[in-house]
Amino acid sequence: MRILAIESSCDETAASLVKIDQKGIEVERNIVSSQVNIHAKYGGVVPEVAARMHAETIIPVLQECFGRKYKAEDVDAIAVTYGPGLITSLLVGLETAKTLAYVWQKPIIGVNHLEGHLYSSWLESEELTVNSKEIFPAIVLIVSGGHTELILMTDYGQYKTIGKTRDDAAGEAFDKVAKIMNIGYPGGPIISERAAEGKPDAIDFPRPMLNSKSLDFSFSGLKTAVRYYVDGRKLKEREINNIAASFQEAAVDVLREKAMLAIAKYQAKSLIIGGGVAANKKLRKELLIATDRAGIQFYCPRMKYAGDNAAMIALAGYYHLQGYSKEKLAEQINNWKILQPDANLEL
């Protein structure tokens, strides 16, 4: 089965062609057009600007995705992100996908953006295959600019949210701390780069909810602690690096300990991580060490699949279509009539 997928939930316009069969998962095309340079001057994503850029780039992105090699008849189904995200951004990708489904008469399936991140570790993985079962039950840690959640996954399509942030998402905290220090946007990669040159024990920032038995997160207090520390100071490069390293250390400590608490509570066989913050080298290293000590498997996406992309949406769509009879698959051709965006969609 070859799936065309479209993703436009925030500030990346993406399209991908993914072929899935018993041989494995092949990402044939994966095109991502990022708006990060446009939003950088605002210090964050501006919804109206994001939607306008999606509208301008969606067709060129699709054209680049298909190139001269692929045609409509090569596509078996269409998968598209329909939430959560920015409603005006979601609309661009969704309406484009619905139009293609109608014109080409192809089955179309709506995919939860978070579910896409959940499956991103499967892309180009030599260990995880289409029918991997030995990883369940698994704990999934989704960490991005808009979400920080712990999910219990007992099988494909079987999820239960067991913890989430009560205020700021982890990625949002990284962005805000970078803004507090006036070192640029997006904050995640900048903080990570600065932290590599700093001392993680230079400043003892708080670890909110670290000792709580709850699986929820809170990053607002950590962000505020950084703000109070920086307030009124003229920061030198070394101080910026130390603040970045100490902040990152605190955030990673919380993420690691909450994930391991969930693993112990639910006797999980594996930990899966997804989302933009999954690209953070410190977080990946700490989770690898922790899971190795616990004797369980750790799965994380390749760097190029950590951020928003359409390949992960294609794979999540495939698992939705698994088990569909030919009749039920054919019924999805008319799904374009009822598929609507949901900015607050939950997994």
How far apart (Å, rounded) are the C-alpha atoms in residues 113 and 128?
A: 20
CA dist 247 and 280 (Å) reads: 13
Say if residue 175 carries a ligand binding annotation. Answer: yes
pLDDT at position 132 over 90: no
Q: Summarize the confidence of residues 8-28 as an average pLDDT.
A: 95
Read off the pLDDT of each residue in 67-89 and give the average, rounded to a whole number: 98
108 is in an annotated binding site: no
Domains, the chain, with CATH or none: 1-123+304-335 (3.30.420.40), 136-300 (3.30.420.40)
pLDDT at position 133 is: 79
**Distance, CA of 201 to CA of 198 (rounded, Å):** 9
Judge whether 188 is annotated as a binding position.
Answer: yes
Q: pLDDT over 90 for what percent of the chain?
A: 90
Instruction: Answer yes or no: is pLDDT of 194 > 80.
Output: yes
Residue range 103-110: mean pLDDT, rounded: 98
User: Taking Cα atoms as reference points, which of 146, 294, 327 lies closest to residue 219?
Assistant: 146
pTM: predicted TM-score of the whole model, two decimal places: 0.94
State the pLDDT at residue 325.
87
Give yes or no for residue 218 having a pLDDT over 70.
yes
Q: What is the mean pLDDT of the chain?
A: 96
Q: Cβ distance 31 to 328 under 8 Å?
A: no
pLDDT digits (tens, 9 = 90+) for 47-68: 999 999 999 999 999 999 999 9
Whether 128 has a pLDDT exceeding 80, the answer reads: no
H/E run at residue 262: helix 237-266
**pLDDT category of residue 130 using cuts at 50, 70 and 90:** low
* Distance in angstroms (rounded) separating the CA atoms of residues 100 and 98: 5
Average pLDDT on 152-174 reads: 96
CA 193 to chain centre: 20
* Whole-number pLDDT of residue 80: 99
**54 labeled part of a ligand binding site:** no
Residue 146 marked in a binding site: yes
Is 145 flagged in the annotation as binding? yes
Is there a binding annotation on residue 323?
no
Mean pLDDT of 291-296: 97
Q: Is the pLDDT of residue 34 over 70?
A: yes
Which has the minimum average pLDDT: 149-163, 207-221, 316-330?
316-330
